[in-house]
A = this chain, B = another copy of it.
Amino acid sequence: MPQYTPPLRDMQFVLHEMLQVADVFQAMPRHADVDVDTINAVLEEAGKFAAQVVAPLNPVGDREGCKLDKETHEVRTPSGFKAAYQQFVEGGWGALSCDPEHGGQGLPIVLNQCLYEMLNSASQAWTMYPGLSHGAYECLHAHGTEEQKALYLPKLTSGEWSGTMCLTEPHCGTDLGLLRTKAEPQPDGSYRLTGQKIFISAGEHDLAENIVHLVLARLPDAPPGSKGISLFVVPKFLPQADSSLGARNGIFCSALEHKMGIHGNATCQIVLEGAHATLVGEPNQGLQAMFVMMNAARLGVGMQSLGLTEVAYQNAVAYAKDRLQMRALSGPKAPDKPADPIIVHPDVRRMLLTARAYAEGGRALAMYSALLLDQAHASEDEDERNEAAELLALLTPIVKAFLTDNGWIATSECLGVFGGHGYIAEWGMEQFVRDARINMIYEGTNTIQALDLLGRKVLGDNGARLKLFGAKVREFVEEEGVNEAMQEFVNPLADLGDKVTKLTTELGFKAFQNRDEVGAAAVDYLRVCGHLVFAYLFAKQARIALDKQEQDAFYRAKLATIRFYFAKLLPETAMLIRRARSGAQPLMAMDEALF
């Protein structure tokens, strides 16, 4: 069975040394008392919960999967899932960064993200149950009426009730404008919903006493397309004013999907049969309201792959130190043993360091983004709030797509470290790969993320957000321009920054003539931007590690990882930029009939 040790040291490095979060929190009235010790204590307890309570469930969930009782429409989750969820609720983990007004602990979001990285390393399938609740919480917190908030938020905060997002239908996923679920207004101001939804994660289960579905549907007089979609809250059991459970609502799980991975999470087909619902936000403004939830969820999907990357790395390292096979090409390293441990082989190290660099770079980016979210919510300074929100809008598709593509690469490389044993279920490595694949798809495929980045976030505002980030890169490059020891990091960073600027301008011109140029370049462009952000954050980390490398082996390992990144992973940009510049013609030339 895979092992997991929470990476507390690297989290602390990112939070305290790179981001200096305690100083940032001091300037926020809401978080002024969140100091280093509080943060470390929370991380330590969260790590224990993830490693001791959740991690042992991951192979069980994969093996057993979920079971639907077709008579009762109830879903049984794998052995142990319910007990662990109970402990999660009792420990108050669901309430960590929720609003104290509704029973939350009011801690910064960046801490919640650390919790979720660790939970996802332990078990992505289990973690999706509380994770989706948190999305429903955020959506109702932002757009719910006072009555809806009073009715749902305390229970979603505690985790006694869980939440879902019901968007996809059989004929539409990416293109929600096509959706057909109908909402009929009732005389009492409520609605009746009828239709079918698919791919509803955690759509039915036995962990919580009630499930709060947030459902997109169409009002009778709604305009066609995406401008005619409204958002509703549809509880499994209708709550009474005192929060006790009333009648069973007409929303049912009709089938479970058989999937490549995340077997422990119930992916449900949901039918709505005149289900009682109340409107969230304004009529026909459902997509905008849902986007609050979706942006949070996109960061959350990034955390899923970060968690998988970290745990796959840890297990591959343990195997590579233990497994004896062949001698090092440069001569025996363990002459007393029948062969050398495979970690002596350069290509095994390439696989390991790929995962390590993607984990450490991903953690830096995810926590940087989460801190921006804290600043956007809780800073006293309006300019700071706005700048943080703009930067976060730019980074969100990168967190989602870059971290999940990297997670796919990293988990597969870590499987490879095990040779044939990696392909065997009992080692657990192949589960990480299977689980990782969905993260590139849901909450907007990575192609959609790339179109969001290049089309909307970059070209859509004439590069203003990108310039905001570019200014940070330039500032850092200028600061370190005279520091000899930093040249190995600052030079490629500055070079890549210039190339991104040039590429963006080129793509802007081409897109002006042919919008297909955006679609042709977007995926490569997003990965180039991902590397720019990683190079920037790694260069900042290197600055700190260079000063402290004599003190502590942690900093020497950090520098070795960063040097590996610049030597072996950053060169991907040479390919990506060429591909992005080669344009739409090689993609569009073939007649559809000839495929």
Taking Cβ atoms with an 8 Å cutoff, the residues of A that contact B are 168, 171-175, 178, 198-199, 257-261, 317, 320-321, 324-326, 328-331, 338-339, 341, 343-350, 352-353, 356, 408, 412, 415-416, 419-420, 422-426, 430, 433-434, 437-438, 440-442, 445-447, 450-451, 455, 514-516, 518-520, 522-523, 553, 556-557, 560-561, 563-564, 566-568, 571-572, 574-575, 578-579, 582-595
Contact = CB atoms under 8 A, between A and B. Distances in A.
Nearest to A438: B423
6 contacts: A173-B420, A259-B430, A346-B587, A420-B441, A422-B441, A560-B590
A317 B199 CA distance: 23
Contacts of A419: 173-174, 441, 445
Contact of A571 (B447, B556, B578): B578
A59 B106 CA distance: 50
B433 A416 contact: no
Contact of A586 (B198, B352, B564): B564
A304 to B, nearest CB: 14
A516 B329 contact: yes
Contacts of A561: 590
Q: Which 10 A-B pairs have the closest CB atoms?
A: A346-B519, A567-B586, A260-B430, A560-B590, A329-B515, A571-B578, A557-B594, A575-B575, A346-B520, A258-B425
A344 B175 CA distance: 14
A446 to B, nearest CB: 8
Nearest to A420: B199
Given A173-B419, A345-B519, A589 B560 contact: yes
Nearest to A350: B587
A320 to B, nearest CB: 7
Contact of A557 (B408, B426, B523, B590): B590
Contacts of A586: 353, 560, 563-564, 566-568
B416 A441 contact: yes
A338 B408 contact: no
A321 B592 contact: yes
A347 B450 contact: yes
B575 A339 contact: no
A346 B514 CA distance: 12
